Amino acid sequence: MSAPAGSRPRVVVTRKLPAEVERALCAEFDVRLNESDTPLGADGLAQALREADALLPTVTDRLTAAVLAAEPLRTKLLANYGVGFNHIDTAAAGARGIAVSNTPDVLTDATADLAVTLLLMVTRRTGEGERELRAGGWTGWRPTHMVGTAITGKTLGLVGMGRIARGVARRAHHGFGMKVIYHDPFPPKPEDAAALGAEGRSSLEAVLEEADVVSLHCPATPETRHLMNAGRLALMKRGAYLVNTARGDVVDEAALVEALRSGHLAGAGLDVFEREPEVTPALLQMENVVLLPHLGSATREARIGMGMRALENLRLFFAGSPLRDRVV
């Protein structure tokens, strides 16, 4: 799509982005920035669709079919800032002739690092330990104090084997000597899995039954909503741990609470939540749960890289070239 002669395409950026990204966007487009960094909401998003040639939305923007029904519609591209796009009704976007792109690759290492961070935090009880120390409750070293679980030699089960999961597998196997197993309907090439020390399993259930730690790396789709329900959590080993850096609604949080309360699971490390930014209150009270505020891609390098990747898709689109990261 080309802008009218003599004008620059108008782009609405729905949240505040790193300064380097905002400067680069403003150098090429007629940009409307969100200086207050507050969510636009359904009405604001609908208005943006009427006024902008493209939107640069984030995971906090619920672009539902109702929002995308805005008239008169001007927007022709949703250049999503992030790899996940379950907050966008892609079928409705496609039906209205709106292209959708995302930003893969650039956040892989940051999110893989965070998954391993959660794995270590929950198994070594570091969140619990820091809370005790800061509260003045630490009385000194003793042999039985705050004893956690070693991960060397343990089995890590990956649900999904995409870019981020492969990054986790590399770190876990080569860095910590973990045995890595995985299930993915679209598995990597055998030689690629072998290089990561990862062994495929024929079903999700087989992974859950064997793993000491289960780490979730599947997309959020209608089919994966509550993938980890009460039945599947019950399949996990007694004393196992769950890590989620994928999307919150992949886990039934009420079922997770019960699995933790009963002692069936030893702990959980969560970066994403079913009803963000709301967190199930019971999880907030559990010492054996590590909770982070959706920090998976929160490195300076990744967040700038995401913005530049979105900029690249905008640039290509308005030049009439194929999108690098087309979703719709």
132 carries an active-site annotation: no
Helix and strand numbers (H, E) in the chain are 14, 12
Instruction: Kindly report the backbone phi and psi dihedral angles of residue 125, in degrees, each rounded to the nearest multiple of 5, phi listed first.
Output: 60, 35
Catalytic residue, candidates 170, 294, 303, 309: 294
Residues pairing with 78 in the sheet: 55, 100
Token digits of residue 101: 């792109």
Amino acid in the structure at residue 168 = V
Long-range CB contacts (within 8 A, 24+) of 142-146: none
276 carries an active-site annotation: yes
How far is it, in rounded angstroms, from Cα 210 to Cα 204? 10
Q: State how beta strands 213-216 and 54-56 pair.
A: unpaired
How far is it, in rounded angstroms, from Cα 297 to Cα 278? 20
Exposed (0-12), middle (13-18) or buried (19+): which is 308, by Cβ within 10 Å? middle
Residue 178: which of 220, 214, 143, 129 has the closest Cα?
Answer: 214
183 carries an active-site annotation: no
Catalytic residue, candidates 15, 183, 232, 247: 247
Catalytic residue, candidates 22, 28, 209, 276: 276
Cα distance between the two ends of the chain: 15
Find out whether 316 and 76 touch, Cβ atoms under 8 Å: no
Residue 283: which of 265, 298, 307 has the closest Cα?
Answer: 265
How far is it, in rounded angstroms, from Cα 159 to Cα 218? 6
Neighbouring residues of 252: CB distance < 8 A, sequence distance ≥ 6: 226, 228, 229, 230, 233, 274
How far is it, in rounded angstroms, from Cα 72 to Cα 69? 9
Sheet of 213-216, strands arranged across: 198-200, 179-183, 155-159, 213-216, 240-244, 265-270, 289-291
Indicate which residues carry an active-site annotation: 247, 276, 294
